[in-house]
Amino acid sequence: AQSVTQLDSHVSVSEGTPVLLRCNYSSSYSPSLFWYVQHPNKGLQLLLKYTSAATLVKGINGFEAEFKKSETSFHLTKPSAHMSDAAEYFCVVMDSSYKLIFGSGTRLLVRP
């Protein structure tokens, strides 16, 4: 069965410094993977998705993620954090029935 683990429940960075949100997945095949962002009391917004094309995926707002099959990872990065990036981030894998399996989320805090 597919699963996804977000390794950090909270990440705190200073504005202007790099962001790294870690995600590992478990799948018996090459999965579709997603990162969504949720601002407080809002719905989820798609940041980016991987669907077996290029392993480095560029998303919105300067975020990108790299699919590493050997490490079963799909970490989310951004070179320079902005205050508006403060939110909760979900790593998601699509299972063989096309259902989304969500990680438990990582809350990103950006310090001024």
Partner 1 sequence: SQTIHQWPATLVQPVGSPLSLECTVEGTSNPNLYWYRQAAGRGLQLLFYSVGIGQISSEVPQNLSASRPQDRQFILSSKKLLLSDSGFYLCAWSVYSQETQYFGPGTRLLVL
Which residues contact partner 1 (rule: CB under 8 A)?
Answer: 32, 34, 36, 41-46, 49, 90, 94, 97-100, 102-105
Nearer to partner 1, 15 or 100 (CB): 100
Burial (0-12, 13-18, 19+ Cβ within 10 Å), 98: exposed
The Cα 19–Cα 21 span in angstroms is 7
Give me 15's structure tokens. Answer: 């504005």
Q: How far is the CB of 80 from partner 1 (least distance, A)?
A: 27
Q: How far is the CB of 22 from partner 1 (least distance, A)?
A: 16
Nearer to partner 1, 105 or 110 (CB): 105
46 or 109: CB nearest partner 1: 46
Q: Whole-angstrom Cα distance, residue 75 to residue 73?
A: 6
Minimal distance, residue 44 CB to partner 1, in Å = 4
d(CA 85, CA 90): 13
